[in-house]
A and B are shown apart, each in its own frame.
Chain A
Amino acid sequence: MTPFELLEPQTLPEALALLSDDDAGIRPIGGGTALMLMMKAAVLAPTRLVSLRGLQGTLGSIAMTADGALHLGGLASLSALEHSALVAQHAPVITRAMTHLSNVRVRNVATVGGALAHADPHMDLPPVLAALDARVQIAGPLGTRELTIDELISGYYETALKRNEIITGVQIPASAGRAAGRCAAYLKCTTRAADDWPALGVAVSFLYSNRTISDARVVIGAATDRPTRARAAEALLSQSMGDATTLQKAGDALAAEVQFTTDAQGSAAYKRQLARVHLGRAVNAALAQT
């Protein structure tokens, strides 16, 4: 690893001022769990790191907003999410996903902002948040903007973020919360060891009443080069009862509509099969919580 400058601003404006859209050598750093590995592997050799740790006090909170949305601070640690009573109440799918995300040492320092900005397609949090219609709040020198996960993560390790922007938080709208009757589940499927990057992540969420599914979201992670909505599968699930025949059809639709990638976790053909099977399992897991 080559030497670099480490700056530790204490406020958002200070932090923003230290970043630059023109200089690829300058990077914000949250928990550093992804960044430091890339630097050790010499994939990245930044000249300046702007630590966001000093903003944890202001941007690390987890709270309900006035309109009933769940707000996750961009600097909240993943273990803060895991242990938050608010998260467990409004989006228990996140609580459960956290326990199988990486390990406790990483979760203790890794941040929500880092988990979104890193954009490794194998990350667990993006598909979960996408299935909950989350909106990502971003601050830049000219002000703030909001993006969906789909807009934020534009490709393989690629985001719509500018180099001088910071993710300040994520909002999960009230309509996606438990109180609104939304069920959700995330299944992570690993193929080499239990603690591993997933070969496939399947996040589902839907409304459920009168034993009928409606407004379904299906988002695939890891098996694709970015979190990917499976709209044909969603359409089949919506207005169904989540019965075995529908799940099978939806699984087939999903297998047909999504572009799977081959990598160290498995071939595209195998991941397609995993997706076909895990969609039904994810829906059943979500239904089991109703």
Chain B
Amino acid sequence: MDAKVIKEEQIGRSVPRMEGAAKVTGRAEYIHNIRLPGVLHGKMFRSRIAHGRIVSIDTSAARAVAGVHSVVTGEDIQRLIAEPYYGPAFHDQPVLALHKVRYVGEPVAVVLATDPHVAEYAAGLITAQYEELPAVFNEVEAATSPIHVHDELKPAITFPDLKHLKGKRGTNIALDYKLRRGDVEAQFASAAHVFEHEFHTQHIMHTPFEPFVALAEPMDDSITIHTSTQMPAYVRLEIARLLGWPENKVKVRTAWLGGGFGAKVYVKIEPMVVALALLARRPVKMSLTMEEQFYVIGKHATTFRIKSAVTADGRISARKCEVFWNGGAYADIGPRVSQKSGFTSTGPYRIEHAQIDSAEIYTNLPPAGAFRGFGIPQLVWAYESHTDIIARALNIDPLEFRRRNILREGDEHPTGTAMRDAEFEEVLVRISARMGWDQPFDRGTGTKRRGRGIAIGVKASIAPTTSFALVNVSADGSAVLFCNTIDMGQGSNTSMAQLVAQVLGTSSERVRVTQADTDVTPFDMGTLGSRSMFHMGHAVRLAAEHAREQLEALCAETGIEYQDEHSIAQAFRKKFGMQAGNIFGVGHYTSRYQPADHDTGMSKEITPFWMIGGTGIELEVDTETGHVTILRMVNVVDAGRAVNPRVVDTQISGAALMQMGATLSEEMVFNEGELTNPSLAFYKIPGMRDMPVAIENEALEAETRSGPFGAKGVGESGTFGVSPAIANAIDDAIGVRLYSLPLTPEAIYRGICAARGEPLVD
């Protein structure tokens, strides 16, 4: 790899993706492709009921199938792990169902065989008897239902704000975040205008094109886990905890990930493959199918009740938010979603009186957790639809209404944290400038009506979190970066290499980034929530600076002027008499954070940085069918300084198009807890022909003073404004307001019929 040496600034350079060639030529390594001698394949038998006590599981027919190695149930797992429950927020999820099943699709038993087809066939012969229990599916009902998904809450020790839930019985509420600021009720009583609405979002799936896959390989006195994870360090920690082993006996490694989008955070199928491998004393691989992914993790369905008081001159004086998050049967990281996103429920507005109740709720559905945007798209959907309705009702231009209320530098967010380096207004300005918001707009004719809409959202970073990095400079001046940030398609390896090269004064092409392997790559909390460029970026910067200090000392000692990799190579040769030796630079970073007060939900430092994204939409509605064509999509974000502008651009459009799918077509449809469309034939993500006619992205010229080289995260910001911008544009086009996602042609057409007083009769 003797790439051409590029002397220019490395920050702000659109360095081509380092893995691009390997991926398009099919040579990039994925866990799916690993073949190990003696491996057993596992296939699951899943619950067909939503809630019930397990009376018996009959595995005899499966065991009798030729080629079956063994059949494992929850009780077998318990022989290995006495308390086989895992989860980042609650230790609530059994490796395989124990005593009870809590959703349709929950894993109940696994067949192991050398031939995966045999395992699958045999799994189909397993039967189970249940004593069925009543089930609860809707998040609002579950909040007060006498039906309880779990008998007792078992918070993990990780999050201090869940401690008070320990041992709690008789509830489905797995987290209850509250914000209390000022007196909202007094404002509602006296305000010039009060608006109140309820919005809904649907359960959706991440749909990474590489489904979950993990392979556990028991060694002499340790275990190696090859897995497609966004969080190798956490997998190691959680497996070590489950087994009661020291961390250094658990090795977790990844290869390239075929997408993650938040699905592959924390642990998913790893505890299962580990337990199976240790029971069988052989390597065990599980490769889920696309269909099975629907039963692992999804995005929270939500109900959001929002109420605002507005003054006569169009200022929001109070806002009350009640958000119900449908967490499914196991909490996963859901409580973090409902808290970290929950405290932003009032939106990017200066509001003196604010009240938020954001609750994570157990139901008898598949679990919901982190999903690109970490809950923010659900919130923005509601508050930006609501904001638009208010503006239109008051006859104020929606852009003007937002500008009148938007948070500005130094303003206090309702949580009490002052806004820093958060360019809300500039995002609005750039969207409207690109759209020509003040220009006349062609509204269409006849059955084709046009409209436009905007929306803007804000997100906080997950905090506090920690990243470590290690830079190893070789004697020729080339470097390897050891870091656990997982490149699952977002281009992080390329960007991280740029940071190293910038500090060392070399070119990015001379830096290679290793795949995560917890035996050698140092700790990182995980690749999620757009935290990596900020947190790992700092750690990488510090590690590179540490290496550079030592390299400068080496040069000084050998009398060579430090310039670039050639001078580094000279210094090494002079010192060691040949091309030999290494310099290790280490760095770590923990974000600053002050926890929210339990009673008021307030904090002076609730996030290390804010993410901001807005979208403008122009669209056309076919009023005879409800079909929508997006003519133009304008996405503008504040990502601080763009380390790699091309990567930033594709992150913006990728996020926005993903959210467009969540807005227009994607929906996991449940019938009494049973998913009716677990396949890509019936769960439709957008394809090439669904793309907007035109799409434009812009990352503001901005700087995050607290970020590495002025940068911050950008993986999710493109999602924020998309859904409400589309709904607002539909309203603008045809005067129909929709309150539930997805905005399917049928939903829109029904809205049209209802608006003219002739509801569509079934």
Contacts and interface: CB of A to CB of B under 8 A. Distances in A.
Contacts of A262: 762
Given A193-B690, A269-B761, A270-B750, A2 B117 contact: yes
Q: How large is the interface on A (under 10, 10 to 19, 20 to 34, 35 or more residues)?
A: 20 to 34
Contacts, number: 57
Contact of A264 (B121, B627, B669, B688): B669
Interface in B636-683: 665, 669, 676-677, 679, 681-682
9 contacts: A2-B117, A189-B625, A193-B684, A193-B686, A193-B687, A193-B690, A267-B762, A273-B749, A273-B760
B207 interface: no
Contacts of A196: 684
Given A193-B665, A270-B750, A273-B760, 7 more contacts: A3-B117, A37-B681, A41-B291, A191-B627, A266-B746, A267-B762, A273-B749
A167 B697 CA distance: 52
Report which residue of B676, B684, B689 has the largest number of chain A beta carbons within 10 angstroms of its beta carbon.
Answer: B684
Contact of A193 (B121, B669, B685, B762): B685
Secondary structure at the B interface, as helix, strand, loop or mixed, is: loop
B701 interface: no
B710 interface: no
Q: How large is the interface on B (under 10, 10 to 19, 20 to 34, 35 or more residues)?
A: 20 to 34
B120 interface: yes
Given A2-B117, A264-B677, A191 B690 contact: no
B689 A194 contact: yes
A6 interface: no
Contacts of A277: 624-625
Contacts of B665: 192-193
A39 B500 CA distance: 51
Given A197-B681, A270-B750, A264 B117 contact: no
Interface in A163-213: 189, 191-197
Contacts of B762: 262, 267-269
A176 to B, nearest CB: 29
Interface string A226-252: 000000000000000000000000000
Interface in B51-96: none
A37 B687 CA distance: 20
A256 interface: no
Given A3-B117, A267-B762, A274-B625, A191 B744 contact: yes
Contacts of B624: 273, 277
Nearest to A3: B117
B745 interface: yes
Interface of B: 117, 120-121, 124, 291, 624-625, 627, 665, 669, 676-677, 679, 681-682, 684-690, 744-746, 749-750, 760-762
A259 B437 CA distance: 47
Interface in A251-290: 262, 264, 266-270, 273-274, 277
A274 B669 CA distance: 22
Ranked 4 nearest A-B pairs via Cβ:
A194-B689, A192-B684, A193-B684, A195-B687
A81 B750 CA distance: 38
Contacts of A194: 687, 689-690
Contacts of A2: 117, 121
B169 to A, nearest CB: 40
A153 to B, nearest CB: 20
B669 A192 contact: no
A36 interface: no
A42 interface: yes
Contacts of B124: 42
A196 B750 CA distance: 21
A107 to B, nearest CB: 15
B120 A1 contact: yes
A270 B669 contact: no
A131 to B, nearest CB: 22
Contact of B746 (A1, A42, A270): A270
Contacts of A268: 762
Contacts of A264: 669, 676-677, 682
A42 B46 CA distance: 15
Contacts of A189: 625
A220 B124 CA distance: 38
Interface in A147-167: none
